[in-house]
A and B are shown apart, each in its own frame.
Chain A
């Protein structure tokens, strides 16, 4: 097994860039994971609770994109 390298962030520019990149990755992961869950038949309430946000928030953020992608959405 390859040894895990411990990352070391020494400079503020690296640390700040890592924050920006991690936010972008979190957004990409959320888009992918919500779509995967909804395609698997999860409800908005289940997805919202799993993410720790309100049902309204998750619906507002993702419904338009998923409808356009042809994902069959459950009402609740």
Chain B
């Protein structure tokens, strides 16, 4: 699948993930949820191998949210308001964390970008919601990055040998 078509598919699913979160913008964690939701892909298998299947990833993100609030002395349980109705449409605006992930993932890509480059860009973030969520689960993010880079360089070698 061409990368721009893949990206559109992921952004569409990520928009639904953002809508579920009550977020008006699509952020890096929504991309990651969308990638995890596409089971049977090598990217989702890699995430599943460290416990980040769609359910596990949601749990990790929820935990990061509660943890970050707790640092400011705020507990989600303290609020008893009913859950608000969701926005009628999926989010379409892309937040800064998505732009950073794309910039990082596609930096230095000379040939055609692959789906794994997007995951790479998300996981290479040193700060923000995604690395904190993974850190709280004791997931070795740098090892995940290394595995993706290894796969990508193997694919490039094969492409070079074939062409």
Q: Which A residues fall within an 8 A CB radius of B?
A: 5-7, 9, 13-18, 20-22, 24-25, 27-29, 31-36, 64-66, 68-69, 71
Contact = CB atoms under 8 A, between A and B. Distances in A.
A36 B82 contact: yes
Interface of B: 22-23, 64-65, 67-74, 76, 79, 81-88, 127, 129, 132
Contacts of A32: 81-84
Which of B67, B84, B88, B132: most chain A Cβ within 10 A? B84
B65 A24 contact: yes
A33 B67 CA distance: 23
B79 A29 contact: yes
A18 B87 contact: no
A18 to B, nearest CB: 4
Given A13-B127, A16-B127, A24-B23, A69 B72 contact: no
B87 A14 contact: no
B85 A35 contact: yes
B71 A35 contact: no
13 contacts: A7-B70, A16-B127, A17-B68, A17-B129, A18-B72, A22-B69, A22-B74, A24-B65, A27-B22, A27-B23, A31-B85, A68-B88, A71-B85
B68 A14 contact: yes
Interface of A is mostly: helix
B130 to A, nearest CB: 11
A7 B72 contact: yes
Given A28-B22, A64-B87, A21 B65 contact: yes
A66 B85 contact: yes
Contacts of A14: 68, 71
A37 B73 CA distance: 27
A42 to B, nearest CB: 15
A18 B76 CA distance: 13
A18 B70 CA distance: 8
